[in-house]
Amino acid sequence: MSRSSRFAFALCLLSVSVLAAAADGVVSASHPAAAAAGARMLAAGGNAVDAAAAVQFALNVVEPQSSGIGGGGFMMVHLARTGETVIVDSRERAPAKATAGMFAPDGLPMSFPLASTSGVSVGVPGTVRGVDAALKRWGTKKLAETLAPAIALAERGFRVNRFLAADIANDGGRTQLFPETAAIFRPQGVPLAEGDWLLQPELAKTLKLIAAKGPDAFYRGPLARAIVKAQQRARSELGETGRGRMTLDDLAQYRVAIRQPLIGHYRGWTLATMPPPSSGGLTLLQMLGLLERYPLGDTAQGYGFGSAKILHLMIEAMRLAFADRAMWIGDDDAVPVPSRGLLHAEYLAGRAALISLDKRMDTPQAGDPLPWDKADVRPKVSSAREESPHTTHFSIIDRWGNMVSYTSTIEHTWGSGITVPGYGFLLNNELTDFNFLPGADAAAGNPGANDVAPGKRPRSSMAPTMLFRNGKPLAAYGSPGGATIINSVLNVTLDLVDHGMSLQQAIDAPRLSVTQAGGKVSCEGGQGFMQPAIGVAAQDVLRRLGHEGLGAIGTDGCQARIGSVQGVGIDPASGTAYGAADRRREGTVITIRR
C-alpha cells in the first residue's frame, strides 16, 4: 500500500470498528466538563464555532492555570459550505507604552521568575474579543448562550482533577504570590487537592457580566479599570520597572485579526496551519520539507516508527528549523517574515544537505532564506525566554462538516499569577514571549523580529492544524506545550501520513522533541498507552551519533511527557465524524449521535 493511502485506510478501519452510527458532531478537549460544554451547544443545534466558544469559556473554569479570558489564542475554522479555512487571531498585544528594552531597563535582562509574575509581563487580552468575533461571523448562538455552561460550572463548582491539583501543588509559588489567587486555589493556606470541590463565584459574576453586556463589559468600564489596576502590581525586587504599562485605551482599542492559514504540502497531503505571529506553522512545514526527501515509514529500509534512522532525521530537522525560527520569525504585521524563502524548495535542499546519516551535525546556525524571498532584512539571533508547556487545545466538528482547531493560553502555568480582584480570573504573562534583550541593530540590518514594540504580538509556537486530501478536510488537531507544540504536531502528522496510524494511535504514540539548535533530546517511552515504544537500542544508536539528553548507554532515557493533542477527523469513505483525545491529560471525546 502506498504511503499516501495508509492514513486514509486507517481512518476507514477506525470508522468501521468504532463508529457504527452517524454523528451530529464531535468534541475533543482536555477536560470532560469542557467537552460537555461544547457538546451541549452541538446538541442544541449549534455549530462548531458555537461549541468552540462554550469549550473555551468552560476551560477558564476547569483549567484556569492554562487558559482563560485573561489570555489569547488562535482559532482555525474550516467552513464546509464554502470550503474556506480562516483563522481568528486573538493573540495578546503589547500595550502602547511598551518599549523594546522594558525587560532589560538597565541593560541586563530581568529574572524570568520575577518578570513573569509582575504586571510588566501582562499583554492586552484577546480571548473575549476573539470568541465574540468568531460567533458574529460564523456562529449561530449568542455569546450569552455559549457562556452558560461555564457560568454553571463556576457557580455550582466541580471536582478538582489530578492535573489541576498537581499544578497547584507544584506551582513554583505562582498561586501563593497574590492574595486573590491564593484565596481561590489555596483557601486558608491549604492547596486544593484531587477530589476537592472548587467554587468560583467571582468568576461566575464576571462571566454573567460579559453575557449580559457583551465584550465591551470586559474591555471598557469597571472591569477594564480593574484589569489595568491589577497589572500595575510588581514584585518588590523589580520596583517600578515591573509594573504593567497597559491602559484603558489599550483595552478599548484591542482588535482581533482574521487571517488566512499557512498552506503546505507533504507527500500529496495538504496542511493548513498557523502563520506568523506564531512560529508554529512555518517551523512545522520547514521540518516536513526537510524530511520529505527521506523514505519515512519504509520499514524495509529501516525507517519504521521508532527506528534510529527516523529519530535521528527528526532530531536534525528540528534543530535546523528551530535555528531559523530563532532568527527569522516574529509578528509579520510589525516586521516582515521571509515565509516564502523559509519554505522554498531550493532553500530547504541546502539546509537538508547539512544532515548526515552517520553523525549529529554541529550546532547549526540560521540559514539565509532571503535570496528566495522578497524581504530585505537580515536579523540576528536575539535572546528570548522558554515558553511554558501549559496551554490548551481542543478540536470540534459539527453535523455540517464545519471544523475548529483552537489553541489558547495564558502563557506560563498560572500566567502572571495575578487574579483580577473581585473578578476571579488570571491575567496572562504573554509578553515574556518577546526577546528580553532587544535584537534590533540598524548597522547589521536587524529589525528585531521579536523585540517588544507597541501593539505588537509576541512570537508564539501555537500550531492549530488541519489535514486535507484532495481538498477535503480529514483531520484537525493541535497541542499545548510551549515550543514543543510544534514537535507534537509534527510527530502526529508523521504518524498519520508516514506510519499509517489512526488518529488515536498517532495521539497515543510516543513523541520526540528538540526545541533549540543545540538543544538536548526529549522523548517519551512506551509506558502504558504510549505505544509502540522507542526502544533502548534505538536510543543507544542516537547516543553514539552524538545526541545529548538521553542519559547513559543501555538506559531508557525517554521519560518525558510531551504535549496533549486533541483531534477530530472525518472518515473519507463514509463521511462519518469521530474524535481522538490525549490521555496525557484528561482528554475526552464526546460524540453527538443522530
Copy the grid coordinates of residue 119.
Answer: 504586571
User: Of 364, 359, 355, 320, whose CA–CA distance to 541 is shortest?
Assistant: 359
Q: Which of 206, 391, 465, 515 is the catalytic position?
A: 391
Distance CA 260, CA 85 (A): 7
Measured in Å, how far apart are the chain's first and last C-alpha atoms?
A: 34
> Which helix H or strand E contains 86, and what residues bound it?
strand 84-89
Q: Which residue has the cell 496551519?
A: 273
Three-state DSSP class for residue 93 = strand
Amino acid at 56: Q
Any idea what the Cα angle at residue 165 is, between residues 489 and 409, rounded to 5°?
A: 40
For residues 464, 469, 470 and 474, what is the CA-based torsion angle, rounded to 10 degrees? Answer: -70
Q: Which residues pair with 393 in a beta bridge?
A: 407
Is residue 192 classed as helix, strand or coil in its secondary structure? coil
52 phi/psi in degrees, rounded to 5: -60, -40
Active site residue 140: no
Judge whether 23 and 578 are in contact, CB under 8 Å.
Answer: yes
Contacts of 163 (CB under 8 A, 6+ apart): 63, 585, 586
Phi-psi domain of 585 (left: phi exceeds 0; alpha: psi -120 through 50; beta: other): beta
Residues 54, 463, 503: CA angle, nearest 5 degrees: 80
Residue 391: closest CA among 36, 52, 71: 71
* Cα-based torsion angle of the residue sequence 517, 519, 525, 529 in order, rounded to the nearest 10 degrees: -60
Q: Which amino acid, 401?
A: G
User: Which are the contacts of 535, defined by CB distance < 8 A and separation ≥ 6?
Assistant: 306, 526
Tell me if residue 103 falls in helix, strand or coil. Answer: coil
Strands (E), 318-434: 383-384, 392-398, 403-409
Per the CB < 8 A criterion, the answer to whether 56 and 396 are in contact is no
List residues bridging with 186 in a β-sheet: none
C-beta of residue 415 within 8 angstroms of C-beta of residue 409 = no
Residues with catalytic roles: 391
